[in-house]
Chain A
């Protein structure tokens, strides 16, 4: 029996050794591979093409493709074409890491566009930082995507095309005080969603700073469906407005049940409201006198927006949502950086991204601040008879 055991040991040793060599072999290949192909720019796309957020990813890819196709049709950048490789991260953060690995190692991407959600984007932040490949998320609104939570330092290879959560909260507080001229607010937060908590926190801070008052601060969790007890409590406090920075499913039920309880004050929220489902759940009548901040409004009469909406409709047969417009803008920012970098070199592209200044995109004229967040305006949408209407544009400060 003894010889059998040693045989097994010997075989496993050989196998392990060969595996190790294979790995180190792959490693050395990697460093060599980072010298990119010179005749084209390979831009990776890490998007939610299936799974829970599939509609987000597909819309963003649609938007991005419009830009890249146009640039290629016009002869590319310095004669080099852009090759856009969009892979599916299945709406999962772990899969997002795999996709990023594949894009960098096998596809030799010099920059990555995506993902649409903060969670999925966070899945590739560490990898991109290690490999020194710039990532430009189209719609990750959580602050910690571009700023390391512990060291408070900016993740120097990570950028985004959208504004961040705190900004939306501040915008709606200013809107309450300055546009609606109202003072007291109740806040109803989805305590399971960091997104909702972020918006609520900055709404409260900004409202109080501006002379307003928070009269009720309540919470719920994703998946709840009965809000009447909490709303009855809020009704007792008689606030001028209610701020509900949640996602459309719960928000729809909250708005409907609030109106059923005879609460007719304005109800407000953030971009999580943006879905046709909102009207179906809440009903059109209940949604009158509600407002939310969003990245853009398809009803905006700015010629740039009008032009984009028209082209998108022609190509894909539907009105572009925020995800589509941010995919488009993300690609615009990327192309602008590629032009200034001049060559497919990840570090040079990153340097170019940092110095993005006054670039005209559909969602506004943007420049990056030190934390790689674009400084631009938010659109305020008012719901009228179940339709989104463009109410106002609120610029930062």
Chain B
């Protein structure tokens, strides 16, 4: 039982990261039906901005916010330069562009900061909390990751459901043409979506940097793919779906490593993707209606 609880904690802290990245995937897909493969690399950029901010002696929160702001801008720039000119092009062209942007960010990252690993300064002292005679351990960093993820998720729900931008996003996602006729500035709405999604990825990047304490320019590839799986599992385009998908994927991975074979972890994650696509392509939270945010 204690071991199970420990694995649950392990899985939830890993899953929180997936969830934060998956939110951005799902929002962008919801709005312009694009699987933004560069999203995992925005997460990497976020980690690096966080790294430079913390090495400047900034605290955790300022670094987190700076990183989110910088990546929000990056997200908008990527959208404007790479995706907007292709808005009326076939979907496959945009998808290939996304892969191109992904490579650009990875290799540009190597060029700019070098391929070597960077380690975060100790932003906050580690505290461990023990339960059940020390058999269950949770650290303050894990708590921070989970709390920040839940807070950002709630903030996102608020933005989407109660603000003007959020309403515009839902409208554009529902029917772009009609939204345009109703006077909604579609371009700005799409930019806002990219900004919000990218800032969430940046937050995940900073959290990962602090939690695992090592970042490199290629760190975005695997978590990016996993977050994509999480988004599909939850129902791509559905925000709560991405959140639940991310958390479940983390927990499933922890349980596979803990009770099965550690090496089957990634295989199980991608097997899950295939199963979902076969059994319920709309995902756990998706309805069979085409339009969704």
> Which residue numbers of A lie inside 8 Å of B, CB to CB?
52, 191, 218-221, 223, 225-226, 228-230, 232-233, 236, 249, 252-253, 256, 260-262, 277, 280-281, 283
12 contacts between A and B (CB under 8 A): A219-B261, A221-B263, A228-B13, A229-B257, A233-B262, A249-B117, A252-B214, A253-B214, A261-B137, A262-B128, A281-B214, A283-B213
Whole-angstrom distance between the alpha carbons of A375 and B134 in the complex?
46
Chain B positions 254 through 268: 1 when the CB is less than 8 Å from some CB of chain A, otherwise 0: 111111011101100
Chain B contact patch, size range: 35 or more
**A262-B128, A262-B134, A262-B137 are contacts. A229–B253 as well, Cβ < 8 Å?**
yes
Residue B222 at the chain A interface, CB threshold 8 Å:
yes
Shortest C-beta distance, A61 to chain B (Å), equals 19
**A228-B254, A281-B117 are contacts. A233–B212 as well, Cβ < 8 Å?**
no
List residues of chain B with CB within 8 A of the CB of A223.
Answer: 218, 222
Check B128 against A225 for contact (C-beta < 8 Å): no
Give which listed residue, B6, B119, B212, contacts A226 with CB less than 8 A. B212
**A280-B119, A281-B213 are contacts. A229–B130 as well, Cβ < 8 Å?**
no
**A260-B137, A262-B130, A277-B119 are contacts. A225–B214 as well, Cβ < 8 Å?**
yes
Check A230 against B213 for contact (C-beta < 8 Å): no
User: Counting chain A CB atoms within 10 Å of each CB, which of B3, B208, B212, B255 scores highest?
Assistant: B212
Residue B14 at the chain A interface, CB threshold 8 Å:
yes
Check A220 against B263 for contact (C-beta < 8 Å): yes
Give which listed residue, A220, A249, A283, contacts B262 with CB less than 8 A. A220
Other contacts beyond A232-B3, A233-B257: 12, CB < 8 A: A223-B222, A225-B214, A225-B219, A226-B253, A228-B10, A228-B254, A230-B257, A232-B6, A261-B6, A261-B137, A277-B119, A281-B117
Residue B139 at the chain A interface, CB threshold 8 Å:
yes
Whole-angstrom distance between the alpha carbons of A221 and B257 in the complex?
13
User: Counting chain A CB atoms within 10 Å of each CB, which of B11, B117, B266 scores highest?
Assistant: B117
List residues of chain B with CB within 8 A of the CB of A230.
Answer: 257-258, 262
Q: What are the 3 closest A-B residue pairs judged by CB atoms, nearest first? A: A229-B257, A280-B119, A229-B254
Whole-angstrom distance between the alpha carbons of A341 and B173 in the complex?
79
Whole-angstrom distance between the alpha carbons of A142 and B222 in the complex?
28
Whole-angstrom distance between the alpha carbons of A253 and B222 in the complex?
17
Check A225 against B212 for contact (C-beta < 8 Å): yes
Give which listed residue, A229, A236, A260, A281, contacts B11 with CB less than 8 A. A229
List residues of chain B with CB within 8 A of the CB of A281.
Answer: 117, 119, 213-214
Chain B positions 209 through 235: 1 when the CB is less than 8 Å from some CB of chain A, otherwise 0: 000111010110010000000000000
Check A229 against B262 for contact (C-beta < 8 Å): yes
**A228-B10, A256-B213 are contacts. A277–B117 as well, Cβ < 8 Å?**
yes
Shortest C-beta distance, A158 to chain B (Å), equals 29
Whole-angstrom distance between the alpha carbons of A227 and B128 in the complex?
17
Whole-angstrom distance between the alpha carbons of A4 and B105 in the complex?
50
Check B128 against A229 for contact (C-beta < 8 Å): no
List residues of chain A with CB within 8 A of the CB of B263.
Answer: 191, 219-221
Whole-angstrom distance between the alpha carbons of A253 and B214 in the complex?
8
Whole-angstrom distance between the alpha carbons of A261 and B212 in the complex?
14
Chain B positions 105 through 140: 1 when the CB is less than 8 Å from some CB of chain A, otherwise 0: 000000000011101001000101010001001010
Give which listed residue, A220, A253, A280, contacts B212 with CB less than 8 A. A253
